[in-house]
Structure 1
Amino acid sequence: MVKVVCAIIEHNGNVLLTQRSSSMAQPLLWEFPGGKINAGESETDALIREIEEELNLLIVPHQRLTPVVHSYSSKTIELIPYTCELQSGEISLAEHMAYSWATIDELLNYSWCPADVPIVEEYIRLKRQV
């Protein structure tokens, strides 16, 4: 099983989503950005590193949400989500095709990677309770 972290980056009442490129697995689907945890790396250190590498953003991870185990045809992943605060940086896409800042109400309008769907649903529930 591959452990992967993802960031729900909040800024000015919106959340950052990224669209996978046509050459990636799950092409053109939307996801919360993130990546694999390296050996000896903590979840939050991996998240900070991946977001800096992929998006040129500095973030502060806050709340860990419920991890999702999902089996794709080639592998099984454990996707570990964190809500994060945007600290600084200008978005520069290293791997993804596009990005979008979405409101809570807009999140369900996107075509999500299957592993992200339960995370989107949990995040919406949490935000609507506040």
Structure 2
Amino acid sequence: MKKFVHVVGAIIENDAQQILCAQRSKTMTLPNLWEFPGGKIEKGETAEQALTREIAEELQCQIIVGQKVEDTTYEYETFIVRLETYKASIVQGVPVATEHAELRWLARHELQQIEWAAADIPAVRKLQR
């Protein structure tokens, strides 16, 4: 039986209407693919609490979590992931790639220029509508 992972991702937009994209490092599962930054929901956490904690840990920023954008379950070769994505705004700090290979700000029409992890694609498509 495949492992099930419940994760959250932040769709962070800046004042120039660009969205923060994070490239997974070579040491992570799904290396070099792009995603919305975030991570696993810990026991006893809400999705919003997990997202706030994960962004503080991964990007060294404080965010305010907004509305849910997408809720996707995707079956990869070795695991199943449920990804909930939320709009978010940075209220303190500048994103720093502490775990990811690269961070990139892209306009909505540029999002298809990078190779996304499959679970993130439904949210990307929704943003481009």
Q: Which residue of 1 aligns with 2:87?
A: 83
Could you say which residue in structure 2 is the equivalent of 1:7? Answer: 10
Matching residue of 1:109: 113
Give the 5 Å matches for 1:57-96. 57-96=61-100
TM-score, reference length from structure 1: 0.92
Deviation at 1:72, TM superposition (A): 1.2
Shift of 1:10: 0.9
Aligned length: 125
**Aligned residue in 2 for 1:25:** 29
Residue in structure 2 matched with residue 121 of structure 1 by the alignment: 125
Query: Counterparts of 2:83 and 2:95 in 1: how far apart (Å)?
Result: 23
Q: AA paired with 1:16? A: L
Report SS of the residue matched to 1:94.
Answer: coil
Alpha-carbon offset, residue 2 of structure 1:
1.6
Residue of structure 2 equivalent to 1:34 = 38
What CA deviation, in whole Å up to 9, does each residue of 1:7-32 have, x standing for no partner? 00011111100000111111111110
Tell me how large the CA RMSD over aligned residues is: 0.9
Shift of 1:66: 2.3
Shift of 1:74: 1.7
Q: Deviations over 1:38-58 (max 9, x none)?
A: 000011000000000000011
C-alpha distance in 2, partners of 1:104/1:94? 24
Gaps of 5+ in 1: 126-130
**Alpha-carbon distance in 2 for matches of 1:25, 1:59:** 25
What 5-or-longer segments of structure 2 have no aligned partner? none
TM-score (norm 2): 0.93
Higher strand share: 2
Q: Which amino acid aligns with 1:117?
A: I
